[in-house]
Structure 1
Amino acid sequence: MAQSNLQQELRKKQPFASPEQEAILNILRTSDVFHNQFGRLFREYGLTPSQYNVLRILRGEGKPMPSLEIADRMVQVVPAITGLLDRLQAQDFVKRNRCTEDRRVVYIEITPKALKLLKEIDEPDLCLHRKLIGHLSSDELTELSRLLEKARTSLVSVDQN
């Protein structure tokens, strides 16, 4: 039986134990490649992917948000949202405001400096998306998203049992 592309990439001598294992390793390998490319782009602007994600969330919301809600919306889970926000505040990209009704809640607001930086990143970010996955057709991209969402949905039901 011929080796799969992933099997060759990983220089794996034996076949994968299952199609599920091969698919997940393909997802992880692809994610790593993409993550490295985006990490390199954001580093050019003095940001990490997680910092960029926070700023993107705040810009999209258009108003200050509770820090825990930002954490819930992150693409990748960040265990230390407070430290991440500390670093963004030190760069003057966000401001913190404590809620007057509930002192435990901290609202995070994006600054004009961060909005200006995001505007600079928008075009290179879009170009990188196209470079990495633009060779797929619109139908293929739709199907890929559908399959990945279906895979994640099954995980949610497994976690609830």
Structure 2
Amino acid sequence: MNIEEVIKSSRPIEDQYHRTFLNIVYSGIWLEQNTIDPLKQRGLSHPQYNVLRIVKGYKAPMTVASIQQRMLYQTSNVTRIIDKLVEKGLLVKESSNEDRRVVLVNITAAGSGKLKELHDLIYGSVKQVVGKNLSVEETMMLGTLLDKMRS
């Protein structure tokens, strides 16, 4: 289905930059909606999942500021997200030994387990949705073009 059909436009979108913009925005929302169910069923949001991935991938305790810099959603309230994940037992917060004013965040065993459980579900869903109509080569080309657009 092309973007004009999706937005129920009565005529083709002539400006290709605008058409591409709409396509990218719609596709991002569409992909997010296709991956949200496994997260919701396990009591997590996309930003919470993102924080877990960031902390796990860093392999050492992180400051809140360094987590914020790596967030996909830069406007997210990282402190609140971290507090919710601490309440769920998925992250821990501790004071730095060098500077007690600095709060360090680390993933718990439960957080690592939750992330492992979600990884297969999320990436399986993404692979199914993206791979339904795109080959591996087309997916690589799309990724390259998106990287180029943002550079």
- Please indicate, yes or no, whether the TM-score normalized by the shorter chain is above 0.5: yes
Structure-1 separation of matches of 2:24 and 2:101: 38
- Aligned match of 1:146 in 121, 144, 147? 144
Q: 2:4 aligns with which of 3, 7, 11?
A: 7
Matching of residues 88-107 of structure 1 within 5 Å: 88-107=85-104
Amino acid across the alignment from 2:142: L
Greater CA deviation, 10-19 or 50-59?
10-19
**Is 1:60 the equivalent of 2:45?**
no
Residues 1:19 and 2:16 aligned together: yes
The one-letter amino acid paired with 1:131 is: Q
Which 4+ residue blocks in structure 1 deviate beyond 4 angstroms? none
Of residues 97-106 and 16-25 in structure 1, the stretch that sits farther from structure 2 once superposed is 97-106
* Aligned residue among 117, 135, 147 for 1:137: 135
Aligned to 1:72: 69
CA drift of 1:17 comes to: 5.0
- For 2:125 and 2:116, the matched residues in 1 are separated by 15
Residue 54 of structure 1: how far off its partner (Å):
0.7
Higher RCO (C-alpha 8 Å, min separation 6): 2
**TM-score, scaled relative to structure 2:** 0.91
User: Map of 1:117-132 to 2, 5 A cutoff?
Assistant: 117-132=114-129
For 1:81, the equivalent position in structure 2 comes to 78
Q: Show structure 2 runs of 5+ residues with no match.
A: none
TM-score calculated relative to the size of structure 1: 0.86
Letter in 2 for 1:110: I
User: Which residue number in structure 2 is paired with residue 157 of structure 1?
Assistant: none
Q: Distance in 1 between matches of 2:99 and 2:25?
A: 41
* Partner AA of 1:99 in structure 2: S
Letter in 2 for 1:123: D
Q: CA RMSD in A?
A: 1.6
Deviations 1:113-157 (A, max 9, x none): 11111121122122101111113222111110111011111xxxx
Verify the 8 A CA contact 2:31 2:126 in the aligned structure 1: no
Structure 1 gap segments, 5+ residues each: 154-161
SS in 2 for 1:109: strand
